[in-house]
Chain A
């Protein structure tokens, strides 16, 4: 019902979102942004880009100091609690009388013995401080963010880089800031609007919430009341079949038979039965080497062998290649392959671009992800569908295997889609594709 009220009047401009196509131009823009005096800013990237913090003028987090303080508190509590619990120094002062246990002839308060517990408490409290401190500093949990109203922004987790300048910045000025962003090389700029629709919970919901909270309090109250009570009634069995079950535990001796000569029912004496010979564990029934490996039925290549004659040239007969299958392949391809090979298969995916950039400056080693329109990859003689399937399944060269991420059927769907991509040449050029993408998504909503 809130959806219907979302009209332009009900929203408020909270900032400007600028899109960049690569990390370097984003970094440069961040640097300019800081130098122009903007302070209320934020950047969003698909992977951590080192150097963004200083470029935006973000100071180092105070989290380490929070952790240090909490850790030292943990130390005090850990040592103090052990001292207090075992010591009789507080007799009379505190209602609790110290246990006064003597363990192994050690003194009542003995630091070496208390170090392990203290250490664990420091570690635990520091871990909590790190985790929840991070939440607090990031103002989490945050249930909604106006940026999510912009469909373009979704690609911040895929292949695009964004800079946001908030309207609460003292230097923010709708048109001047936009002009600046453009001059810093933004590819696209959009307004960020916050939804001002009433966000209050309906009354009945709060009421239900309060009632629920009260009901939830009942069990602890009952448990507290039952503390130290004695009950002489026999225990209730809600599920007697399960409580008194005729069964033998695994890894024990099996049932005893009446036969004196063979005292155990099973010759091997154990209670646990072995799986039937020839059983295949779940998910490992890959007898069909065509379907699961892309090989011809009679082919048996040795590990590492790559022989074109071994690969199947057809799709498995039980797969029906239709539009739905291709659509599935497209979707899977865009999830698993486009990051390296690009949406159109030209080998221009973000991971590949980034890796090539790093490799150029000697910071990584990488072979370029092949264009799927490469004549060799495209040629059905040199690269039959079975080999394509095999490449996805077991990887090839620098490319890793996708056997465990993608089911066999989906892998065949990807093969079909890749073939379609190759057949149609370049169906949508990669540039156009990128622009078409947000529009597609907007339409879908």
Chain B
């Protein structure tokens, strides 16, 4: 009954080989259609390009945070010498490698910054507004001058290049070393990566902290919260776990991966998913509670449209219930976490709400800068919302296309990882 399996991959080398090549153009077209639709629909709104680019930014951050989460997954697995995850690690490695080409997807926004337009980031104009009202551009208030030292096109561009460069470096190191090990079986590669994971974790932390500041928090340049990066990370890592889980499910259903991934792996991913759902809620509340309690206008103005704005208030409750309570109970208990259908559903559910989370972070800033007021009632209705959704779906399609492209003919499971034995025999006694 308790059969220990040999510490090697017995089924033929598993890869997407060929089958997915066809899928790449289709996914790319789907992405283009989705994003194109969003662009087209944006012309029915008050400020066409702005509306589109903000929605684009929300969806971009949604997939970016997943890639970043996968990078963290690989780092932490190496750092803790995790054995169980050896067979699912390759998938995370490939997603982490997607971060570098995603720089191209960020270009439309970067262009507006370099051109000096305030289409997306209002700090890109001297004398930007604090609470809506434009101020005298000849005599900007001191705080804005101060922030201008950090938030200006050149610095921003340098930082963005650094983020994607570092993520690319980390992602490439992990994937290329791991692929090399597939060929040579060199065990020292694992030891080396474990050593590298520690400095990589620091580089990861710094880049994630500042990228979340730059990409999303600076939409409201006078607002500040040191909790924001943790919030970005918590949601992103949870979504990354869901993405890894869904990819495993798909690969296994389509027969590309067979018995390398067992119910025990799904169970463990499910446990982590629940853990990070709770962590997300904990961080979201920590950020909210302090600002709510202190009740200082400098800080509360960010929350005000989100929890008092007629359109955003229900969305905030949807997030609270949908992103915290529903998955908390969906993933509660061993039987539920070992039910593949339910796990798949939970993963899709969390991913949808993770998109909504980024939408909720970004879009109220569109309304705030547009209507110059804090209580505007921007709602998630009508044609424009369909455009936003299309943008999200399109961006996700591009992300999957990137995955397929990078996965290509490469093995989807490390073939000669020294910890394969542990992973294949995970919970086999």
Contact = CB atoms under 8 A, between A and B. Distances in A.
A68 B334 CA distance: 13
B293 A104 contact: yes
B34 interface: no
A112 B292 contact: yes
A49 B429 CA distance: 8
Contacts of A106: 293
B421 A361 contact: yes
Interface stretch (B1-9, B246-254, B356-364, B373-381): B1-9
B295 A105 contact: yes
Contacts of B288: 112
Interface string B215-242: 0000000000000000000000000000
Contacts of A104: 293, 295
Contacts of B429: 27, 49-51
Interface string A47-59: 0011100010000
A363 B422 contact: yes
Interface residues of A, number: 19
Interface in A208-261: none
Contacts of B124: none
A136 B333 CA distance: 21
Interface in A70-126: 104-106, 112-113, 115-116
Contacts of B422: 362-363
A113 B294 CA distance: 11
Contacts of B65: none
Main secondary structure of the interface of B (DSSP, over half): loop
B85 interface: no
A379 B217 CA distance: 69
A116 B418 CA distance: 45
Contacts of A51: 2, 429
A64 interface: yes
A362 B7 contact: yes
A361 B293 contact: no
A432 interface: no
Contacts of A50: 427, 429
Contacts of A49: 429
Given A104-B295, A105-B295, A362 B334 contact: no
Interface string B1-24: 110100100000000000000000
Contacts of B332: 68
A200 interface: no
A31 interface: yes
A65 to B, nearest CB: 8
Contacts of A361: 4, 7, 421, 425
Contacts of B425: 361-363
A113 B2 contact: no
A115 B282 CA distance: 11
Chain B interface: which size bin? 20 to 34
Nearest to A106: B293
Nearest to A365: B418
Contact of B289 (A31, A55, A68, A112): A112
Contact of A31 (B1, B7, B334): B1
A361 B83 CA distance: 13
A68 B328 CA distance: 12
B391 to A, nearest CB: 33
Contact of B285 (A60, A68, A115): A115
Nearest to A52: B429
B420 interface: yes
A50 B426 CA distance: 11
A361 B5 CA distance: 8
Contact of A362 (B2, B293, B333, B421): B421
Give the top 10 A-B pairs by smallest Cβ distance, nearest first. A362-B421, A362-B7, A51-B429, A50-B429, A361-B4, A363-B422, A112-B292, A112-B289, A51-B2, A363-B421
22 contacts: A50-B427, A50-B429, A51-B2, A51-B429, A64-B333, A64-B334, A68-B332, A104-B293, A104-B295, A112-B285, A112-B292, A113-B289, A116-B289, A361-B7, A361-B421, A362-B418, A362-B419, A362-B421, A362-B422, A362-B425, A363-B421, A363-B425
Given A50-B427, A64-B333, 12 more contacts: A49-B429, A105-B295, A106-B293, A112-B285, A115-B285, A115-B289, A116-B289, A361-B7, A361-B421, A362-B7, A363-B83, A363-B421
